[in-house]
Amino acid sequence: MTTATQRAAATSANDTAGARLRCISCGAEYGLQEVVYHCVSCGDLLDVVYDYPAYEPESLKRQWLARRTSLLPIDQSGVWRYRELLPFLADEAAIVTFPEGNTPLLDAPRSARHAGVHHLQFKHLGFNPTGSFKDYGMTAGVSQAKALGMRAVACASTGNTSASLAAYAARAGLLAIVLIPEGQVSFGKLSQALDYGALTLQLRGDFDAAMALLLDIAPELGVYVVNSVNPFRLEGQKTVMVELLEQRGWRVPDRIIVPGGNLGNGSSYGKCLRELFDLGFIDRMPHLTLVQAHGAAPLYHTITGNDPETLVRVHARTLATAIKIGSPVSWRKAKRALEWTDGWVTEVSEQEIADAKAIIGRDGIGCEPASATTLAGLRRLIREGTDASVTPNEEVVAILTGNVLKDADYTVRYHTGELYEEFVTETRVISANGQVLPHFANAPVPVSATREDLTRVIGEHLTRSAEP
């Protein structure tokens, strides 16, 4: 933690266009040069806030669209193209960009039918350079690390943050340190951290333990934490909303559905929608809907329980390892986002997640398990409603957060009927409990390497697919 003197010096040495950090609870403010993640007075989370100039929304919208044809790397980025909404860097030379973003908005008729709605689109953030939504935030977090002159950047992670951080740190020439729970991160994600050269620490503990330990030791070691507790990272992530609205010609959807883990992503969307509304870019708010896995649903239990002001921590269990989190650091910001957008939080079972993922696959889209909570959650909302009813005519956008290749093991196990809520494996399943049923299985078909067999099997398939 910084001392009061360091803070005073830092505050006077900055700032960028009225940008500063502000506590979401007590309103205490800090300068942008301070390395601080929680309010020194009350311990709550911080926002980056700005004294925005009086923007003319229509002309800025035109300018953002025009930047899509520019050859400048910061214009090609789906984050920095909208830099007027995140003006925290004094010098654009600090920006570390691939570029990221520019992810597609896809119609998905089979998925819409599965959920029981008429208008469903997926915004697929798995099309990013490292295959997940984290890149939107990491470009901002690592650029701030560079601007601060940090040498090392660190995160605790269920896999995607570590992959993204490792890549951006490598591009920036910074040392990346990642803490991951041993045996609970998919190989796709682990392989990325290794390949991009991060110091990869496999902790004998869960994500929540890794997160708490990192926040404890980071100040002493002088490493910069870029988990979503870092408010600069969320500034990058929030631009997903701007990109999405631009792709829809600024037509606001009725509902936006987001998976919830550490709860940074949904929080950043809430902040962005609020800013866009206050600045006059949109004239109504969509309902933000967060979805958690049944065994990792602390926010759901908190909001629907007796005391919504106290987080109900859980010992997280889910096969959607990306969101296997029992004590999310950004839960208060997520709750605020739900309040601002008249939103909702729901939970879904392992079976619902797995089936939804297979259906998203059938639309030719695919995603990792955590992302499929969105479709599963929408289906639940249509059947059960929220505190207000949900109608099939709503225009819904679901946010897919990770690429289908991130967790290939899960996908193959589902299609071959070998996915279990609890299992021990050594090249094959050796003990298993709680099978997730392959309702939409597409198992590989074994066939001998002969002309006759191959012709017979394909022929049978052609006949079957021609049947009405």
Is residue 264 close enough to count as binding ligand F0G by CB under 6 A?
A: yes
Estimate the crossing angle of helix 408-415 against helix 187-195, to 10 degrees.
160
Q: Where are the alpha helices (DSSP H) in 263-407?
A: 264-278, 298-304, 331-340, 350-362, 369-384
The CA-based dihedral angle spanning residues 325, 328, 333, 338, taken in that order and rounded to the nearest 10 degrees:
40
Pairwise CA distance, residues 167 & 40, whole Å: 31
User: Judged by CB under 6 A, does residue 322 bind ligand F0G?
Assistant: yes
**Interface characters, 105-134, with ligand F0G (x: CB under 6 A):** ---------------------------x--
Applying CB under 6 A, among 341, 371, 374, 411 the residue interacting with ligand F0G is: 371
- Minimum Å gap between C-beta 330 and ligand F0G is 7
Stretch of residues binding ligand F0G (CB under 6 A), selected from 26-34, 152-160, 213-221, 336-344:
152-160
223 φ, ψ to 5°? -100, 150
Among 21, 263, 396, 398, binds ligand F0G (CB under 6 A): 263
Three-state secondary structure call for residue 66: helix
Does 368 participate in binding ligand F0G (rule CB under 6 A)? yes
Which of 78, 369 has the CB closer to ligand F0G?
369
What letter would DSSP give residue 85? G
Q: How far from chain centre, in Å, is Cα 426?
A: 31
* Least distance CB 209 / ligand F0G (angstroms): 14
Token pair for 143: 């650029």
Contact set for ligand F0G, span 161-180 (CB under 6 A) = 161
Interaction residues for ligand F0G, span 378-407 (CB under 6 A): 401-402
**Residue 123's beta-bridge partner residues?**
105, 399
Question: Shortest CA distance to 198 belongs to which of 169, 225, 166, 168?
Answer: 166
Picking from 65, 21, 54, the residue whose alpha carbon sits closest to that of residue 229 is 21
Give me 452's structure tokens. 């006759």
User: Is 323 a residue that touches ligand F0G (CB under 6 A)?
Assistant: yes
Site for ligand F0G contains 158 (CB under 6 A): yes
Residue 292 as a binder of ligand F0G (CB under 6 A): the answer is no
Kindly indicate which of the ranges 80-88, 157-165, 342-350, 453-461 contains the residues binding ligand F0G, using the contact rule CB under 6 A: 157-165
Contacts with ligand F0G by CB under 6 A lie at: 132, 157-161, 228, 259-265, 322-323, 368, 370-371, 401-402
